[in-house]
Amino acid sequence: MAIGVKFEKRLNPSAAMNVTVPLLSVLAALAVGALFLLLTGRDPVEVYEAMFKGALGSSYGLAETVVKGIPLMLCALGISVAFRMQLWNIGAEGQFYMGAFAASWLPLTFPDLPAAVMLPGMLLLGCAAGGLWGLIPALLRARWKVNEIITTLMFNYVAILWVDYLVYGPWKDPKGFNFPLSAKFPAAAALPTFGTSRVHVGLILAVLLAGVFWVVFTKSRWGYEIKVIGSSEQAARYAGMDIKGNIYRVMLLSGAVCGLAGMTEVSGIVGRLQPGLSPGYGYTAIIVAWLSKLHPAAILVVAILFGALQVGGFFVQTMGVPASVSAMLQGAVLFFVVGGEFLTQYRIVLARKEAA
Amino acid sequence: MKNRKFLIFMTVVMALALVLAGCGGKKEEPKKDAPKAAEKIKVAFVYVGPVGDGGWTYAHDQARKYLESKMPDVQTVFVESVPEGADSERVITQLVEQGAKIVFTTSFGYMDPTINVAKKYPNVTFMHCSGFKTAPNVGTYFGRMYQARYLSGIVAGKQTKSNVIGYVAAFPIPEVVRGINAFTVGVRSVNPQAKVKVIWTNTWYDPAKEKQAAMSLLDAGADVITQHQDTPGPMQAAQEKGKFGIGYNTDMSKMAPKAVMTSPVWNWGPYYVKVVEGVKNKTWKNEQYWGSLKENVVDLAPFGPMVPEETKKLVADAKKKIVDGSWDVFWGPVKDQTGAVKIAAGQKMSDADMLSFNWFVEGVDGTISK
Amino acid sequence: MKKMAAGGCAVVFITHKMNEVQEVADRVTVLRGGKVSGTMLCRDVHAQELVWLMVGRKVSLNTPHLAHDGCGDEILQLKDVTALNDSGRPGLNSVSLSLRAGQIFGIAGVAGNGQKELAEVLTGLRPVTGGSVEYMGELVTNLPPAELIRRGISYVPEDRLGMGLVPNLDAVENMLLKSYQNPEFSGRWLIDRQAAEARTAELVRQYNVKLAGLNQPVRSMSGGNLQKLLLAREIAGQPKLIVVVYPARGLDVGATEGIHNLLLELRDRGTAILLVSEDLDELMKLSDRVGVMFGGLMAGNFAIEEVDLEEVGLLMMGLFRREEEQIHGDRR
């Protein structure tokens, strides 16, 4: 006799589970993290408190958490469009960089434009470049069935290296002592911020987009097509939907929103093009989108939580908690939430198997 | 199902325990804080890598510990692995908000954020390592590592049999280019036939990639490997292949004792003490400090047993000349890769030119992307 | 196979090709509807006898077919239509047929002989590589599916959950599958969920579909109710032509009966119906004409009054009456 473990898909996960399981998962993660902290000789309460304080407990921390959340929100929103159609756009990172690159072109080439021209121009350029960067894998996928996971992933490296090339080469600031930085943007190219904080209008863009996406996803004809194609391509074909056209449109939009994230980051935060603009926003956003079940409002919240987790992670370092431990805490939260998510979708069945 | 229920039950119990513990902890908090408030100067460090990188960040962290040991009235705090993008500005701000009076930001990418935060906190002193922007309360500091590089080049030039020396380099920025050039000048001062072959990794901290780059240089015939990287990966590669290496940042002989002949090292400790004392005594000025062999900010780590006496003597002689100021590495004549004389005999390269070095000297086998 | 048998190996060989049976088997068992309908030694057997066992002796007796002569204008005409199957080999081979309003054209045949390709050609899902399709007097060869839907061609596919219906979507969304762009249910951009819900509720009532709720994913519904919902949607579009593939497969007697009545009603309202089925009982009961498909060919085409079940059975096996003698003669 052998015991086999099977995962059975639940037909209809209950609404209560959808809420309680993620909450319990976070608590479980914190519990495991606490154990770990105790083992390494630290007071978990103190650490958690500091984490919370650093990320959410002060207006500055809160603002910084939002700053960190904005690119995550935008990238996750972009990703969610594609994921809804089961197009696995892993290329948010590259689309982010391409958006940042194209948006940077305007202030570097025409530094004297007024803000009223500069900012909309940068926005359009950023969206266009990100969109095109998403469109190429879409073409490959629709025309020749090239797997978009591979192409979008590869395109990330191309985009990052392209930006590296620019800042090490032609776009290098002539006054920058040969350091890999573009010239600083003029003031007209900086997104307005709220008060003295670094929170820029990218936040408003993200919230507006989330609202628009919610309407598109749940109410619109196009959203319906995306849903059907994502659920069953065969049925969509049967219903006479234009699948290729939708692959183009969806990837264009997905990339454009990720490109917008890149634009808001160079314009609102960094103020110049430089390597290492994104510490992996495009990848973290995949997790954000997925944990939010692709729901636009949930994406806003989860992005903020992820921002908080990272801001708090750095903050607790000042208490002598090494970066690796705070990374471990973040990992534990992720692991439990994803695991809990799995348990809401599936249940474990222990089955006895006859030994062969 | 039973198992599941049990799991959930356990989770709830643990969570509750945590919440309860949390309530208890909060009450204690104020008491704990009170005695801490003794008059210590809080000095903060922002690191780009983990303190255990065995390289750049490790060297800074050693200096931080040195500072703490030398100045009992100083309390230090650090944040490691801080990305150079949007995060650094927040980390610096939060350190200041937590009471740091002096902040050392130890990577080039922290330049703009350091300046930005400094504007908001005019009463805090900021020291940015390796940059070029200063402000009334921001100074920069760096070291003439090229001098130590030159000395290590002498060691490499005497040791190589194949006359090919591999150089694993991070990014084509002036600091790295300067190091490669100084090293090459050192090599060719004792071995005019030798070439220095450069591979760019485009990373400061990636043990696997750096090691891989060293391996490919070894495969291409190099028998001495040196590096401008933050991990000992290249040294381990040299040891595995039974070849020699010259480390960087800190004494890397512990990581690869059979290979490492010496390492040009950073020695920030005394300088950090000087800065903090300066701030304390209100004598600090927003200078652009470029410490040299003479001030001992840069140096060579002790030689390994494979280094012959003759070499040691050559190095000692050269060091003496540099320290007493009678000679420096980029004093003419210096030729570029094409053989054209860039610095005529009798000329000295200015600090400004050295800080924006973007060409290779004769003897370097590699290119700088432009 | 014979070598294996000679080497002492017992071989079970499953096929629907009569000549293969004749060639290799020693003993033959006929399965029909999940039951063994007969077992005999191969040398004793007549092909005819096997066919009877396969199609069932009492086929047309239980429901005497009423002559139906409400046929109207020609709705569909196929001329020498050729198409490839999924693996890129010829799947439809020069098929011609004609279908009138108010007529049920039954397609008999063992699955995989071109029925799926035929249905998909008619609904625009598979490109036609030769010949022409005429619908309502117009050439519609290779028009896109959306256009054919717009012109009134409905399709109840074999794969009801996955193609005909989307498992993850609720009943309302499934009802909208082909009509989400109709002004009745949507404006320029947005879908009018309320109107769609009302219409779905109406259909559900009218066709007596049992479901947990309009907002529940349809994947949990039973096969019969899925098929009713699917048919309801396809009929609701008031099609001129409906292609129905294996409508009663996997359903119980009651559900089957319900579906059949729906089809007959539809016929009486003047819809042209192309009915693909493996079940001869079903075909005999519903069809006005019966065609037999084998190897991508339309191997036979009879008015219902002229149908000789034995012949249909033989055609399904790929045997023509003329050849039958040879096979018998061939027997060793």
The three-state DSSP-derived secondary structure of A86-114 is CCCCCCHHHHHHHHHHHHHHHHHHCCCCC
Tell me which chain B residue has its CA closest to the CA of residue A271: B112
What is the longest distance spanned by two Cα atoms in chain C?
72
C329 pLDDT higher than 90: no
User: Poorest-confidence range of A89-103, A171-185, B185-199?
Assistant: A171-185
Chain A neighbors (3+ CB pairs < 8 Å): B, C
Q: What percent of chain C has pLDDT over 70?
A: 87
Residues recorded for chain C: 332
C59 pLDDT higher than 60: no
Residue C166 belongs to some domain of the structure: yes
B2 pLDDT higher than 50: no
Domains of chain B and any CATH numbers: 41-143+268-291 (3.40.50.2300), 145-263+301-365 (3.40.50.2300)
The verdict on A143 touching C (C-beta cutoff 8 Å) is no
| Whole-Å CA distances, C31 to B84, B201, C23, C26, C34 | 73, 70, 19, 16, 6
Residue C129 belongs to some domain of the structure: no
pLDDT band at C172 (very low <50, low <70, confident <90, very high): very high
Which uninterrupted H or E stretch holds A8?
strand A2-9
pLDDT of residue C63: 45
State how far residue C230 is from chain A, nearest Cα, in angstroms.
Answer: 12
State how far residue A241 is from chain C, nearest Cα, in angstroms.
Answer: 7
When divided into structural domains, chain C yields a total of 2
* B287 phi and psi angles, rounded to 5 deg: -80, 165
The verdict on A219 touching C (C-beta cutoff 8 Å) is yes
The verdict on A165 touching B (C-beta cutoff 8 Å) is yes
Burial label for A134, CB within 10 Å (0-12, 13-18, 19+), is buried
**pLDDT average, residue stretch C142-151:** 92
Count of CB atoms situated within 10 Å of the CB of C37: 16
- Cis bond upstream, residue A120 (ω within 30): no
- If you count residue pairs, one on A and one on C, with CB atoms under 8 Å apart, how many are there? 73
Measured between beta carbons, which residues in chain A are less than 8 angstroms from residue C193?
A: 219
Q: How many whole angstroms separate alpha carbon C91 and alpha carbon B196?
A: 67
B66 pLDDT higher than 90: yes
Of A180, A270, A315, the CB nearest to B85: A270
User: A28, B11: Cβ pair inside 8 Å?
Assistant: yes
B29 pLDDT higher than 90: no
Of C155, C167, C168, the CB nearest to A238: C155
pLDDT tens profile B324-338:
999 999 998 999 999
pLDDT band at C9 (very low <50, low <70, confident <90, very high): confident
Q: Which of residues 81-140 of A touch B (CB under 8 A)?
A: none
Q: How many whole angstroms separate alpha carbon B234 and alpha carbon B216?
A: 10
Q: Which of residues 109-148 of C touch A (CB under 8 A)?
A: 123-125, 144-148
pLDDT of residue B318: 94
The verdict on A23 touching C (C-beta cutoff 8 Å) is no
B154 pLDDT higher than 80: yes
Asked if residues C267 and C253 have their Cβ atoms less than 8 Å apart, the reply is: no
pLDDT band at A300 (very low <50, low <70, confident <90, very high): very high
C330 pLDDT higher than 60: no
| Whole-Å CA distances, A259 to A76, A153, A205, A266, C289 | 12, 15, 13, 11, 60
Residues recorded for chain B: 370
Q: Which of residues 168-187 of A touch B (CB under 8 A)?
A: 168-169, 176-180, 184
| Whole-Å CA distances, A28 to A309, B60, B332 | 16, 37, 67
The verdict on A27 touching B (C-beta cutoff 8 Å) is yes
State how far residue B278 is from chain A, nearest Cα, in angstroms.
Answer: 24
Tokens standing for residue A9: 């898909």
Measured between beta carbons, which residues in chain A are less than 8 angstroms from residue C124?
A: 240
What is the rounded average pLDDT for all residues in chain C? Answer: 83
User: A323, B50: Cβ pair inside 8 Å?
Assistant: yes
Measured between beta carbons, which residues in chain A are less than 8 angstroms from residue B353?
A: none
DSSP B343: E
User: Poorest-confidence range of A119-128, B74-83, B285-294, C35-44?
Assistant: C35-44
**pLDDT average, residue stretch C235-239:** 88
Write a three-state SS string for C262-313: HHHHHHHCCCEEEEECCCHHHHHHHCCEEEEEECCEEEEEEEHHHCCHHHHH
User: A221, C186: Cβ pair inside 8 Å?
Assistant: yes
Handedness of CA A330, A336, A338, A341 (dihedral sign): negative
Handedness of CA B329, B333, B339, B341 (dihedral sign): positive
Residue C21 belongs to some domain of the structure: yes
The verdict on A334 touching C (C-beta cutoff 8 Å) is no
State how far residue A217 is from chain C, nearest Cα, in angstroms.
Answer: 10
Q: How many whole angstroms separate alpha carbon C104 and alpha carbon C106?
A: 6
Of B1, B21, B90, the CB nearest to A45: B21
pLDDT of residue C111: 85
For chain B, report the end-to-end CA distance as a whole number of angstroms. Answer: 64
Tell me which chain A residue has its CA closest to the CA of residue B9: A24
Q: How many whole angstroms separate alpha carbon B66 and alpha carbon B43?
A: 13
The verdict on A208 touching B (C-beta cutoff 8 Å) is no
The verdict on C100 touching A (C-beta cutoff 8 Å) is no
The verdict on C157 touching A (C-beta cutoff 8 Å) is yes
User: A239, C178: Cβ pair inside 8 Å?
Assistant: yes
pLDDT of residue C308: 78
Domain A68-320 sits in CATH at: 1.10.3470
> Does A have 3 or more CB contacts under 8 Å with B?
yes
Q: How many whole angstroms separate alpha carbon C276 and alpha carbon C285?
A: 13
What residue numbers bound the domain in which C15 lies? 2-62+321-330
Q: How many whole angstroms separate alpha carbon B311 and alpha carbon C267?
A: 104
Chain B neighbors (3+ CB pairs < 8 Å): A
DSSP A267: I
Residue C326 belongs to some domain of the structure: yes
User: C169, A231: Cβ pair inside 8 Å?
Assistant: yes
Candidates B4, B16, B18, partner chain A, best to mutate (most A CBs within 10 A) = B18
pLDDT tens profile A70-115:
999 999 999 999 999 999 999 999 999 999 999 999 999 999 999 9
User: A239, C148: Cβ pair inside 8 Å?
Assistant: no
Asked if residues B86 and A193 have their Cβ atoms less than 8 Å apart, the reply is: no
| Whole-Å CA distances, C82 to A26, A350, B124, C243 | 60, 52, 83, 18
pLDDT tens profile C20-31:
777 777 888 877
Q: How many whole angstroms separate alpha carbon A248 and alpha carbon C26?
A: 59
State how far residue A228 is from chain C, nearest Cα, in angstroms.
Answer: 7
What is the rounded average pLDDT for all residues in chain A? Answer: 88
CA neighbor of A71 nearest in space, from A313, A219, A269: A269
Measured between beta carbons, which residues in chain B are less than 8 angstroms from residue A320?
A: 77
> Does C have 3 or more CB contacts under 8 Å with B?
no
Higher-scoring residue by pLDDT: B12, C194: C194
pLDDT of residue C183: 86
Measured between beta carbons, which residues in chain A are less than 8 angstroms from residue B83?
A: 276, 279
Measured between beta carbons, which residues in chain A are less than 8 angstroms from residue C176?
A: 224
Candidates B11, B23, B43, B201, partner chain A, best to mutate (most A CBs within 10 A) = B11
Q: What percent of chain B has pLDDT over 70?
A: 89
User: B81, A178: Cβ pair inside 8 Å?
Assistant: no
Tokens standing for residue A289: 């989108």
pLDDT band at A154 (very low <50, low <70, confident <90, very high): very high
pLDDT band at A37 (very low <50, low <70, confident <90, very high): confident
B144 pLDDT higher than 90: yes
User: A221, C189: Cβ pair inside 8 Å?
Assistant: yes
3-state secondary structure of B164: strand
The verdict on A324 touching B (C-beta cutoff 8 Å) is yes
C326 pLDDT higher than 60: no
Count of CB atoms situated within 10 Å of the CB of A27: 19
Residue C262 belongs to some domain of the structure: no
State how far residue C169 is from chain A, nearest Cα, in angstroms.
Answer: 8
- At CA B341, angle to CA B335 and CA B344, rounded to 5? 110
User: Poorest-confidence range of A183-197, A306-320, B260-274, C25-39?
Assistant: C25-39
Higher-scoring residue by pLDDT: B245, A179: B245
Higher-scoring residue by pLDDT: A341, B91: B91
User: A318, B79: Cβ pair inside 8 Å?
Assistant: yes
**pLDDT average, residue stretch B202-216:** 90
Higher-scoring residue by pLDDT: C330, A258: A258
**pLDDT average, residue stretch B67-86:** 90
Alpha helices in C138-252 (DSSP H): 145-150, 171-175, 193-206, 223-236
Q: How many whole angstroms separate alpha carbon C318 and alpha carbon C299?
A: 8
pLDDT band at A52 (very low <50, low <70, confident <90, very high): confident
pLDDT band at C56 (very low <50, low <70, confident <90, very high): low
**pLDDT average, residue stretch A37-47:** 84
Of A219, A220, A237, the CB nearest to C145: A237
Tell me which chain B residue has its CA closest to the CA of residue A178: B356
User: A49, B14: Cβ pair inside 8 Å?
Assistant: no
pLDDT band at C251 (very low <50, low <70, confident <90, very high): confident
What is the rounded average pLDDT for all residues in chain B? Answer: 87
E strand intervals along chain C: 27-32, 35-41, 74-84, 90-100, 104-108, 130-135, 138-139, 153-156, 241-245, 272-276, 289-294, 297-303
Asked if residues B93 and B71 have their Cβ atoms less than 8 Å apart, the reply is: no
What is the DSSP pairing of strand C130-135 with strand C138-139? antiparallel
Q: How many whole angstroms separate alpha carbon B184 and alpha carbon B194?
A: 9
Q: How many whole angstroms separate alpha carbon B78 and alpha carbon C155?
A: 69
The verdict on A234 touching B (C-beta cutoff 8 Å) is no
pLDDT tens profile A223-251:
999 999 999 999 999 999 999 999 999 99
**pLDDT average, residue stretch B134-160:** 95
Tokens standing for residue B240: 């595995």
B279 pLDDT higher than 70: yes
Higher-scoring residue by pLDDT: A24, B151: B151
Of A11, A221, A224, the CB nearest to C220: A11
Tell me which chain A residue has its CA closest to the CA of residue C144: A240
pLDDT of residue A185: 93
